[in-house]
A and B are shown apart, each in its own frame.
Chain A
Amino acid sequence: DTEVTQTPKHLVMGMTNKKSLKCEQHMGHRAMYWYKQKAKKPPELMFVYSYEKLSINESVPSRFSPECPNSSLLNLHLHALQPEDSALYLCASSQEGVQGQGNTIYFGEGSWLTVV
């Protein structure tokens, strides 16, 4: 199983809503990532979890709140988002930990988020 599974595939939410994006992998990977991809732009890193601990936060606004309940799951909690937050949110995972090198990062299909 070399898949990263993301749900939901599509989400429309109002600016006052609270919602969550979910990500799951069963490859035994200990690093998990959230990326944001706007239309016709490359993915941009948001967060990295390593061994269930947050290791990188790329100065993401607090209206995005990541959570890693266990080594297989990664959530992104969304609250009070703005229309400009509409994008494709990609989850990814890889084998290495904090000092890892050279391991492939596997991406999910993404969750399309529209904020109205």
Chain B
Amino acid sequence: AQRVTQPEKLLSVFKGAPVELKCNYSYSGSPELFWYVQYSRQRLQLLLRHISRESIKGFTADLNKGETSFHLKKPFAQEEDSAMYYCALRGKGFQKLVFGTGTRLLVSP
């Protein structure tokens, strides 16, 4: 079974502070991991995929298979980063994308 856990419902930080949004997963095979972001009144957008290993808007995420984690990090948070962030998992060769419960990031000035 596929399961994604995001332990924090809300993460509140000040502008310029480091941010880490936690994501742990459960899957018996090799998963694909994603971070999606949903800004207020906007559509769900892909932020990062683990296979591309890129940095988008200053965010990075590393897949740690030993700890079954895919935490999202940014060294210096900006107010425009305030949004709902969803970690998601898809089993290789399967179409079903399973989302975590989401973490709302609030960056205050």
Contact = CB atoms under 8 A, between A and B. Distances in A.
Nearest to A42: B99
A16 to B, nearest CB: 31
B86 A50 contact: no
Contact of B102 (A42, A96, A98, A107): A42
Contact of B43 (A42, A96, A107): A107
B92 A101 contact: yes
A90 interface: yes
Nearest to A6: B43
Given A50-B95, A56-B96, A96-B95, A109 B42 contact: yes
A105 B47 CA distance: 11
Contact of A101 (B44, B93, B97, B101): B93
Interface string A59-101: 0000000000000000000000000000000100010101111
B51 interface: yes
A98 B95 contact: yes
Interface string B7-41: 00000000000000000000000001000100000
A109 B49 contact: no
Contact of A102 (B42, B45, B49, B96): B49
29 contacts: A31-B95, A41-B101, A42-B102, A43-B44, A43-B86, A43-B99, A44-B99, A45-B98, A48-B95, A48-B96, A55-B95, A56-B95, A90-B44, A94-B95, A96-B95, A98-B95, A99-B93, A100-B93, A100-B95, A101-B32, A101-B92, A101-B93, A102-B32, A102-B49, A104-B46, A106-B46, A107-B36, A109-B42, A110-B43
Interface of B: 32, 36, 42-46, 49, 51, 86, 92-93, 95-102
Q: Which 9 A-B pairs have the closest CB atoms?
A: A42-B99, A107-B44, A109-B43, A48-B95, A104-B46, A107-B43, A42-B102, A99-B93, A102-B51
Interface of A: 31, 33, 41-45, 48, 50, 55-56, 90, 94, 96, 98-102, 104-110
